[in-house]
Chains A and B, each alone.
Chain A
Amino acid sequence: MDFLRPASWEEALAAKAAHPTAVPIAGGTDVMVEINFDHRRPDHLLDLNRIGELTEWEVGRENVRLGACVPYSRIMEHLRAELPGLALASHTVASPQIRNRGSVGGNLGTASPAGDAHPALLAAGAEVEAESVRGTRMIPIDAFYTGVKRNALEPDELIRAVHIKKADGPQQFSKVGTRNAMVIAVCAFGLALHPGTRTVRTGIGSAAPTPVRAKEAEEFLNAALEEGGFWDSRAIITPSVAKQFAALAAGACNPIDDVRGTASYRRHAVGIMARRTLGWTWESYRGNGRSTEGAA
């Protein structure tokens, strides 16, 4: 095994081009577990810790350009207003120690369906800035996840940043685990209201081979909100609409039975979380929520 320590982004791209099987390591919160438990022996580890720009972010007019290695704890602390859904999701990641090291770039690189950031990214809307010595491309988040622990990156590409839409309305994130902290998602749900476009976007984690949006549920809700004039009236959403939205969200799941939970529970729980997060965000939108950010 070789340990590559590029001092700059350009060096990192060159190293990845020279060694396409090199495994990037930033926070180490996935990679080191696999190494410690002898599940993986890559020929090369590509350390990204020395590249300062990867832990920086820029807040633009429409987007936040989030460096691939910005730790979750920084997102919680500094980006709650711009990225409330992702900040909430960040808060559910593992433990304080892990949140000090883990990053959205790592979640995307691993592309586990259980990654906590994915539902929030899907709901907010995002693009992944992937780069290689051949150039830069922007991968829409909806096209990024290609299979269980597989993503749209080419072997020579690295994730430089994620461009996430700044919140234009309330966002929520909710995750079921069988422990009250430090737990991998049994399933998770992210929801963002986009009053600017009068749309709702969602993200489901751990309930399908990849993170997915509940598109049918979104379309149903978009139509129902539009038809009912809810965006303007800010009236309470009819329970039957919320119920149907929840059912469609549950229907968007394609889960498995595993040691963390059953498929039918996952479907059930996603439905409940869909209904609750819709309720919380809508209350916020109506002006009754005390913040868009959730608590704690």
Chain B
Amino acid sequence: MRVNFTVNGRRYEADDVWEGESLLYVLRERMGLPGSKNACEQGECGSCTVRLDGVPVCSCLVAAGQVEGREVVTVEGLADFAAHRAEQHPGSGCAPGACGTALDQARRWQADPAGEEARETGELSPIQQAFIDAGAVQCGFCTPGLLVAADELLERNPEPSDADIREALSGNLCRCTGYEKILDAVRLAAARAEETV
């Protein structure tokens, strides 16, 4: 079958998709976007987390055909997505719960060509930078899913408690770090956002 949808602001069309293929497979094998990871393919690790119309989901459990006409953001588009959000909400100073990306906003969002360039020159979203700085990356296989999940947490809740962070990231397994540095990274990103207000 044929599936059309938008990934990171770009329209994609995939042909000859087998009906049992997951969104994850289509992203990785048909669209050249292998950033979302295939660690368990059963929704038990979160490595394939993407935003589907703004909502974090395991892309391994979304059938390709279900994505027709919808908007997906993957780790590859996270920096642009975050930059766009920062433009919409300068300083990320909105109150908890008031800062989410509404569905219609997510649908309208388009990649900014300038943003694309900026990312190529090494610009990262705050959560990406914080993961590097805090030592939250070891093998890195869990990292893309964690980044998408953590970015969404901070969007909803710019000042999460440790328990909030743990709960929000409880669907993302990491086998290398013991999670301490991941907590550090999210705290760091939140603290930096606060400083810029």
Does a CB–CB distance below 8 Å link A and B in the complex?
Answer: yes
Which residues of A are in contact with B by a Cβ distance under 8 Å? 1-3, 5, 25, 27-29, 31-33, 35-37, 41, 45, 47, 49, 94-98, 100-101, 180-182, 296
- Closest B residue to A36 by beta carbon equals B41
Q: For residue B172, which residues in chain A have a CB less than 8 angstroms away from its CB?
A: 95
Q: For residue A96, which residues in chain B have a CB less than 8 angstroms away from its CB?
A: 56, 149, 167-168, 170-171
Is B22 among interface residues, defined by CB-CB distance under 8 A?
A: yes
* Cβ contact within 8 Å between A32 and B61: yes
Residues from 62 to 98 in B contacting A, C-beta threshold 8 Å: 62-63, 65-66, 68
Cα A188 to Cα B22 with chains together (Å): 31
Cα A189 to Cα B65 with chains together (Å): 36
* Cβ contact within 8 Å between A95 and B61: no
Given contacts A3-B65, A28-B62, A41-B20, contact A97 B57 (CB under 8 A): yes
Is B12 among interface residues, defined by CB-CB distance under 8 A?
A: no
- Closest B residue to A32 by beta carbon equals B61
Is B154 among interface residues, defined by CB-CB distance under 8 A?
A: no
* Cβ contact within 8 Å between B63 and A45: yes
* Cβ contact within 8 Å between B43 and A94: yes
- Closest B residue to A43 by beta carbon equals B19
Is B1 among interface residues, defined by CB-CB distance under 8 A?
A: yes
User: How many residue pairs, one in A and one in B, have C-beta atoms under 8 Å apart?
Assistant: 93
* Cβ contact within 8 Å between B57 and A100: yes
**Chain A binding site: helix, strand, loop or mixed by DSSP?**
loop
* Cβ contact within 8 Å between A33 and B149: no
* Cβ contact within 8 Å between B62 and A101: yes
* Cβ contact within 8 Å between A37 and B41: yes
* Cβ contact within 8 Å between A27 and B61: yes
Cα A134 to Cα B30 with chains together (Å): 41
Given contacts A2-B19, A96-B170, A97-B171, contact A25 B63 (CB under 8 A): yes
* Cβ contact within 8 Å between A95 and B46: yes
- Closest A residue to B22 by beta carbon equals A32
- Closest B residue to A4 by beta carbon equals B65
* Cβ contact within 8 Å between B42 and A33: yes
Q: For residue A95, which residues in chain B have a CB less than 8 angstroms away from its CB?
A: 43-44, 46, 58, 170-172
